[in-house]
Amino acid sequence: MDEPNSNPAFEARSLKSAIGWYVRVAWPNGKRDHIPGFVSQQEAERWIEGKAPAWLSGRCNAAPFHLAVSRPHL
């Protein structure tokens, strides 16, 4: 059975103290990871869509997962 709440949510976020973007990974247990180094929101979102699955499978050897992506409200 699929457990939709067992996978993290990925969100492109702007840096507050500098110019740039990062990807915030919000895990179901409340832990957060940050992946820095993006010049734009679009670059961060492309990373989420293209590279987040490989990043996630490298972090945990879990069952297949579904990405939850949120977009910032501007």
Query: Is-contact 9 25, C-beta < 8 A?
Result: yes
Cα 9 versus chain centre, distance: 6
- List Cα–Cα distances, 6 to 1, 10, 17, 18, 46, in angstroms: 12, 13, 31, 32, 23
Quick one: pLDDT at residue 1?
41
Provide the token pair at 35. 């992946």
Is the pLDDT at 63 greater than 50? The verdict is no
Please give the share of the chain, as a percent, with pLDDT higher than 70: 74
Beta-carbon contacts of 14 under 8 Å, excluding residues fewer than 6 positions away, are 20, 21, 41, 72
Q: Which domain holds residue 23?
A: 4-70
Average pLDDT, the chain: 84
Q: How many structural domains comprise the chain?
A: 1
- pTM confidence score: 0.74
